[in-house]
Amino acid sequence: MIVTAMDVYKLLPKTNCGICGEASCMAFATKLSEKEMELSLCTQMMDEELEKLKNILAPAVSEVTIGTGDKAITIGGDEVLYRYELTYYNPTALVVDVSDDLEESELEERVKTIKDTEFERTGEKLTLDAIAIRNKSGNSEKFVETVKKVKDANLPLLLCSFNPDSMKAALKIVGSDRPLIYATTEYNIEEMAALALEYDCPITLFIPNDLDKMKELSNVLRSKGIKDIVLDPGTFVDAGIGDSLDNFIMIRRQAIEENDEDFRFPIMGVPAVTWISSKEDKVTTGMREATIAATLMNKYADILIMHGADIWELIPVLTLRQSLYTDPRKPQAVDPGIYEFGDVNENSPVLMTTNFALTYYTVEGDLKSGNVNCYLLVLDTGGRAVDVSVAGNQLNAKSVTDLIRNSGIENGVNHQKLIIPGLAAPVSGEIEDESGWEVMVGPRDSSGIPDFLTEKW
């Protein structure tokens, strides 16, 4: 159920005291419903209303935090089944595994690769979130030694072992760092639950393809006072991932539509199992793992454990995550105004684009890679692309003229020539008449700008 501002307002004191920093209780209610403010900022509430508000503001899917400090990650917190209904808040955590049977040099190299994985897209740096340490050897001592070596990676950890003795030994080393325990099953639930309580760590409940049993054991964990639970219904890849998708969807529907307390937890997928039985080459297996990861992310996976660490495999998954976890109600935009590229002077060309983030950063990348020296005027089109803003009349003669006047570019160059995107050609004449500037129609694709300037400027 989506909580509206009016739902929240009904339970607020309605004093409009302003202590929260907002002008009115309705404004505060709006911010609360949008998750932009904390309920604790209201100091005028009675205990009964406060408790009711906490309950209605609590997300359908509980939030679980893994790790501590600046590097901690929070998963879960979803309110809706479909992104267009509201938005998704906490991005799916992407985790890459290491195993305790690796040679020391291999382990160091793999950890370094995980830490250093980073690329920039539309102004945002995309990185991996955590490291999963697998007790592949089955040996507690090897597991502990690997945990000691990975501990200083400064990333949240997932401890992967079904052996309570191995888990306890590892928690003695990193328990205070709040790793995710992976995993408790119907066979080790008493021992693992005790460790989760002792070290105050989140725990994963692994019950493959049996949601009735998962509900039963989730209830057992909850009855023991464990609140931070992650559900893993199994990732099945050999015959396709249909069963996995069905389980993910049913768990999330039970949480959001039925408010089932035993299923109101984040869901884990493990695309890394692709590598276990694969008889294909590395590239094909990596592509398959990335496809499975993307599919599960689209259907409610809150955390994914992957094995492939090559950047070509991770880029599409990281890019999809970035796209999913933007607010569909708010176009992604950059600040309008004037931007400088390279060494500019009074003779530098003046280009124009819109403030849609993807458009701007594409243009920025092409200007930088082409070593272009220019001014770039960015027009406020409400976060719309060039062709859309022309069709919707956000990019028009008056708005461009106002941008020229207000940006101060007229004082920065000794000419009056403006290069507009090729897709804005239909309004070139109107802009020229309104602004008094000579308008040059540039290429439709910003990758052509360097050559265009070489030939025309």
* CATH code at position 93: 3.20.20.20
Which of 42, 57, 72 delimits the end of a domain? 57
Residue 330 lies in a domain: no
> Residues 153, 96: one domain?
yes
Domain count, the chain: 3
Query: Where in the sequence is the domain holding 410, given as residue range(s)?
Result: 337-456
What pLDDT digit, counting tens, does each position of 168-180 carry?
999 999 999 999 9
> Residues 47, 73: one domain?
no
> Residues 211, 195: one domain?
yes
Q: How far apart are CA 321 and CA 87, in angstroms?
A: 13
> Residues 319, 173: one domain?
yes
Q: What percentage of the chain carries pLDDT values higher than 70?
A: 99
Backbone dihedral region for residue 5 (phi beyond 0: left; psi -120 to 50: alpha; all else: beta): alpha
Distances (CA, A) of 289 to 111, 137, 227: 20, 23, 31
Which of 264, 298, 324 delimits the end of a domain? 324
> Residues 103, 154: one domain?
yes
Mean of all residue pLDDT scores within the chain: 93
What pLDDT digit, counting tens, does each position of 282-320 carry?
999 999 999 999 999 999 999 999 999 999 999 999 999
> Residues 177, 263: one domain?
yes
Among residues 424, 308, 315, 332, which one has the least CA distance to residue 382? 332
> Residues 78, 179: one domain?
yes
Residue 269 lies in a domain: yes
> Domain with 428 in it: what CATH number?
3.40.50.11600
| pTM score of the predicted model | 0.81
Residue 451 lies in a domain: yes
Angle between helices 357-369 and 449-456 (to 10 degrees): 60
pLDDT at 275: 95
> Domain with 10 in it: what CATH number?
1.10.15.40
> Residues 47, 100: one domain?
no
Mean pLDDT, residues 344-365: 95
Distances (CA, A) of 391 to 279, 325, 381, 398, 425: 51, 27, 11, 15, 12
According to DSSP, the β-strands at 303-306 and 350-354 are unpaired
**Residue 14 in this model has a pLDDT that exceeds 80:** yes
pLDDT at 18: 87
> Residues 207, 104: one domain?
yes
Residue 46 lies in a domain: yes
pLDDT at 89: 84
Output the CA torsion 55→59→62→64 (10° steps). Answer: -110
Mean pLDDT, residues 208-228: 97
**Residue 385 in this model has a pLDDT that exceeds 70:** yes
The identity of residue 207, as a single letter, is: I
